[in-house]
A and B are shown apart, each in its own frame.
Chain A
Amino acid sequence: DAKTTQPPSMDCAEGRAANLPCNHSTISGNEYVYWYRQIHSQGPQYIIHGLKNNETNEMASLIITEDRKSSTLILPHATLRDTAVYYCICPGGSNYKLTFGKGTLLTVNP
């Protein structure tokens, strides 16, 4: 699994876009980038994943740099319910067996 680096915390105003960065400079060519989040006292929740192209779903967008060494998760209109710890994971051979780092605590402020 590629090692990932994320800022420990970020703040965002409600209604604004939240941009969460992740560095994965050792990622290999066939490793996907996954994002999960954990709202307080709940199990982690899958958000999005990608390989090399940018991806968008109903929850978020994922922007992966051309060299694939970093990515950004974008929550386009953050709400208070988006306050959570966000984890960027590159699971390598198994996309189920996940190695969690410390993640980024995103606090959405009113």
Chain B
Amino acid sequence: SAVISQKPSRDICQRGTSLTIQCQVDSQVTMMFWYRQQPGQSLTLIATANQGSEATYESGFVIDKFPISRPNLTFSTLTVSNMSPEDSSIYLCSVGAGGTSGRAQGFFGPGTRLTVL
């Protein structure tokens, strides 16, 4: 299994500012992902954080708005840039790691609850 921590756990920000969210894993993992969960909605994948190369973004998400860093196999950051109230969401870090029955599974961090005023 993998234990994931995120900082900050929550924040309230002013529109037009940026916030960087950190994700720390207790073991080296190849695959790291960032998800967004808007109020009352399900999770949506933002991007795959690739170690040593640029992140791979899903449709509807761009690097200028959500720059991602992945300096090593245990750490990643997601920045929410030039925030607007529509960015108010829970942002979750996820990793793929070895699981039971020889089949890997996804593990999720506790999330960062962001409110933009």
Residues of A within 8 A of B (CB): 32, 34, 36, 41-46, 49, 55, 57, 87, 94-103
Could you say which residues of chain B place their CB within 8 Å of the CB of A44?
43, 92, 106, 108
Q: Which among B92, B104, B110 is the interface contact of A96 at CB below 8 angstroms?
A: B104
Given contacts A43-B111, A45-B108, A49-B101, contact A97 B33 (CB under 8 A): yes
Are A43 and B110 in contact, CB atoms less than 8 angstroms apart? yes
Given contacts A96-B94, A96-B96, contact A43 B109 (CB under 8 A): yes
Secondary structure call for the B interface: strand
Q: Which among B33, B35, B105, B108 is the interface contact of A34 at CB below 8 angstroms?
A: B105
CA distance A34 to B105 in the complex (A): 9
Given contacts A34-B105, A44-B43, A49-B105, contact A96 B111 (CB under 8 A): no
Residue B107 CB within 8 A of the other chain: yes
Looking across the interface, which residue of chain B has its beta carbon closest to that of A38? Answer: B43
Encoded as 1 (CB less than 8 Å from any A CB) or 0, chain B from 34 to 47 comes to 01000000111100
Looking across the interface, which residue of chain A has its beta carbon closest to that of B100? Answer: A57
Could you say which residues of chain B place their CB within 8 Å of the CB of A99?
45
Could you say which residues of chain B place their CB within 8 Å of the CB of A101?
42
Could you say which residues of chain A place their CB within 8 Å of the CB of B96?
94-97
CA distance A34 to B4 in the complex (A): 20
B 78-93 contacts with A by CB, 8 A: 92
Could you say which residues of chain A place their CB within 8 Å of the CB of B73?
none
